[in-house]
Amino acid sequence: MSPMHKIARTFQRPLHLLGDWAMGWFHHIGGLGLLTWQVLVYLLPWKWNFDGPETWRTMYRVGVKSFPIVVVTAVLVGAIMVIQSGLYIEQYGAHGLLGWGAGYAILRSVGPILIGLMFSGRVGANNTAELGTMKVTDQIDALRALSIDPVAYLVMPRFMAMIVMMFLLVVVGNATALIGGALTSQFLLDVNMVLFFQSVVTYVLLEDLMHGLMKSVAFGFAIAIISCYFGLQTSGGAVGVGRAVNASVVGSAIALFAIDYAITYAAL
Amino acid sequence: MSDQPLQSDENGETSAFRRLLSSLGEPVLEVAQTIKGIFQVFGLTWYYMLKGRPRWKATVEQLHEVGNRSVLFITVTLGFLGMILIYQAGYQAERITGDLQMLGGLFLQLLLREFAPTITAMMIATRVATGMAAQIGSMVVTEQVDALRMCAAQPVDYLVVPRFIATTIMMVVLSIFAVLVAYSAGAMTAYFSFGLNVRTFVDMSFIGWFDVLLGLSKALAYGMAIPIVACHAGLNVFGGSEGVGRATTNAVVNASLAVVFLDFVISGLGYVILGLVT
């Protein structure tokens, strides 16, 4: 290889990498868009197409089985938020504001996003692994051969179940986080539980709760689409399943933060 | 345990009470088993790290894998986090006091104490823990780990120790990086949305040795917990590609739970210690 060739190669390399990277991203974005479009079309009343019994089973698997993890996470998150606000409250002696500080942070931002991350880890990763295993063992092709639409049979039930269950789990999570916060304020900070709840009721607005719940629905949507997409994209045996799960949780995490920002920006 | 059949009465049916007890006891035993396994891996890792010979090449590879390849991911997520927090806090501060002078200083303190290490650890738990569990898990199902054992190379020594060292170092580095990213994103948001001068925003007067120490000890604790939990999930894989999927799920859930739990413990200890010091 001539020296000129080598120099040209060296200069082209970053462009190659950039192009590769951009092609990969656009490939995924296009695929996600197509899957979203397909799902939304099946939601239209005159194209209503999904498997009812499968949806109930998925709801049980998605919701009830994640319940303990969400409760544990929420209690700890509530406790942490109370400790963090407690450090300031102590400084200024404003014990009446403890419930406001912790409650506002939990309901509006921290609760939905941490429960969303746990949900993406527990349910999203599980879902990608399941669909990925079906893909690498050719079960999805078998469904197609039986003229069963994989989107209607596999994606739609998961999509519905994840949105509904994410919403319900955030409702439960918010309540348990406040209870965890109240217990921490009673036993660690020596602030009366009643004062804590009074402060929550007085200063935290209904709007704050609604803001968090709105986010939870959007998070459920994003996690469902992303985890199903990466599951159906899997190729290459056991290694491929691991790679798909990794891509799915990373994509979900980025989507959660981006959506959180977008909703916060739009709401204020 | 689940592999022993429940005792049944003469009709061959287990009583409802027994079934209730077993359904309560099984998750407890499972959790206890997992925790025991995690501590076993933790102990073995320390043993081989102190006794075994260092594996520089593998460690540097893992440092690259854990650190450099997470930079973009951490930048995106923590950048968004900084913008979100400043939006929420600035909006409240403007509504209630109308005074944004303290926003920057308090934000930096909160980032150091809580958000930068914890959210970075959650991100590392999703990106790196799934990667480790998937990699080690596929080595287990393709019997490469058994092959290692046959060559008298201990899997924990060969696979876990480099990952443990790399993640512990990189977690601290990435947490510091996360503070910078989130703070810059917050400063930009404060400037463009609330018209707050960047020079007013950058305010170091609130932070003290306590905040830095708390943040760094959190980062160190998460950095030790995540690889151990992930490798434990990876080493305990059974049953083909389905098993690998299950292991990655377990890795990310257990690692995130470990992060939240350690956060609670260290924050609580920090609160108590601060009360004793001042």
Q: Please check the confidence at residue B1 and state whether its pLDDT lies above 50.
A: no
Chain B residues in contact with A126 (beta carbon < 8 A): 245-246, 249
Q: Please check the confidence at residue B209 and state whether its pLDDT lies above 90.
A: no
Chain B residues in contact with A104 (beta carbon < 8 A): 92
- Of the residues A77, A199, A250, the best mutation for testing chain B's interface (the one with the most B CB atoms within 10 Å of its CB) is A250
Model pLDDT, residue A33: 92
- Reported as a single tens digit per residue, the pLDDT across A97-135 is 788 888 888 888 888 999 999 999 889 988 998 899 889
Model pLDDT, residue B95: 77
Spatial CA neighbour of A88 closest among B102, B259, B90, B176: B102
How would residue B2 be classed by pLDDT, with cut points 50, 70 and 90?
Answer: very low
pLDDT beneath 50, residues of chain A? none
Chain B residues in contact with A117 (beta carbon < 8 A): 122, 126, 256
- Of the residues B205, B218, B249, the best mutation for testing chain A's interface (the one with the most A CB atoms within 10 Å of its CB) is B249
Q: How far apart are CA A129 and CA A259, in angstroms?
A: 24
Count Cβ neighbours within 10 Å for each residue of B15-45 and write b for 16 or more, e otherwise.
eeeeeeeeeeeeeeeeeeebeebbeebbebb
Chain B residues in contact with A77 (beta carbon < 8 A): 260
Contact A134, A140 (CB under 8 A): yes
> CB within 8 A of A67, min separation 6: which ones?
A169, A172
Calculate how close chain A gets to B100, using CA atoms only, in Å.
17
- Reported as a single tens digit per residue, the pLDDT across A14-52 is 888 899 889 988 998 999 999 999 888 888 877 777 777
> CB within 8 A of A154, min separation 6: which ones?
A131, A134, A140, A143, A228
- Reported as a single tens digit per residue, the pLDDT across B103-151 is 888 888 888 888 899 999 999 998 899 889 988 988 888 888 889 889 8
A196 or B185, higher pLDDT: B185
- Reported as a single tens digit per residue, the pLDDT across B33-52 is 999 999 999 999 999 888 87
Q: How far apart are CA B93 and CA B90, in angstroms?
A: 5
Calculate how close chain B gets to A5, using CA atoms only, in Å.
30
What is the ipTM metric for this complex?
0.85
- Reported as a single tens digit per residue, the pLDDT across B87-107 is 888 887 887 777 777 888 888
**Intra-chain end-to-end CA distance of chain B, in Å:** 50
Model pLDDT, residue A76: 92
B152 or A163, higher pLDDT: A163
- Of the residues A118, A241, A260, the best mutation for testing chain B's interface (the one with the most B CB atoms within 10 Å of its CB) is A241
Q: Mean pLDDT across chain B, nearest whole number?
A: 86
Contact A85, A183 (CB under 8 A): no
Cross-chain CB nearest to B248 (options A83, A84, A125): A125
Q: pTM to 2 decimals?
A: 0.87
CB contacts < 8 A, A to B, total 163
Contact B268 A246 (CB under 8 A): no
